[in-house]
């Protein structure tokens, strides 16, 4: 349900952002995406059952902050051009976090894969910041965030199976 609340906040931020050249400068949305990255950094390792929760959380959180910063400071097209570098850094940081583990590194592959998958989410979310700076940006951000909020809220309901199944 937390995802639904945060997605709703992202939708509101998409509408209430400050004015700039393309309609918004994204400060409000960028701040919410950083908060969303922090929540993901705290929750993903727990939900995924990763063995090195602190290291995974740090990698995911720093990746989210870096992704938002890179997109926010981008001045020209492509706005998402530097995100592959951020994600590559996340992959390397995942390996370094595993090398720093002192617990025998059990479930090593699972931990690296889970951390990399968790780092991908805030990198993708940074795309909302770029989308907001386009002509149809507000509509894209608000529609995407509302869809995510509704889907997240529905998964919290105690429904069983498919309708009619």
Per-residue pLDDT for the chain (165 aa), expressed as one digit of tens each? 555 566 666 666 555 554 343 345 677 778 888 988 998 899 889 988 888 889 999 999 999 999 999 998 887 788 788 899 999 999 999 999 988 888 877 888 888 999 999 999 999 888 888 887 777 766 777 777 777 777 777 777 777 766 554
In contact, 78 and 134? CB cutoff 8 Å = no
pTM of this prediction?
A: 0.74
In contact, 26 and 69? CB cutoff 8 Å = no
Phi and psi, residue 58, nearest 5°: -65, -45
């Amino acid at each position: 349900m937390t995802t639904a609340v945060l997605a709703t906040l992202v939708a509101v931020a998409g509408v209430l952002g400050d004015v700039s050249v393309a309609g918004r400068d994204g400060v409000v949305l960028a701040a919410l995406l950083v908060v969303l990255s922090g929540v993901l950094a705290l929750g993903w390792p727990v939900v995924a059952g990763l063995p090195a929760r602190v290291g995974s959380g740090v990698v995911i959180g720093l990746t989210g902050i870096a992704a938002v910063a890179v997109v926010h400071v981008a001045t020209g097209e492509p706005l998402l051009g530097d995100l592959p570098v951020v994600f590559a850094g996340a992959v390397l940081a995942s390996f370094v976090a595993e090398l720093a583990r002192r617990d025998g590194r059990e479930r090593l592959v699972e931990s690296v894969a889970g951390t990399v998958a968790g780092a991908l989410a805030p990198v993708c979310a940074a795309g909302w910041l770029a989308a907001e700076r386009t002509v149809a940006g507000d509509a894209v951000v608000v529609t995407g965030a509302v869809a995510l909020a509704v889907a997240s809220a529905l998964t919290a309901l105690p429904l069983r199976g498919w309708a009619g199944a």
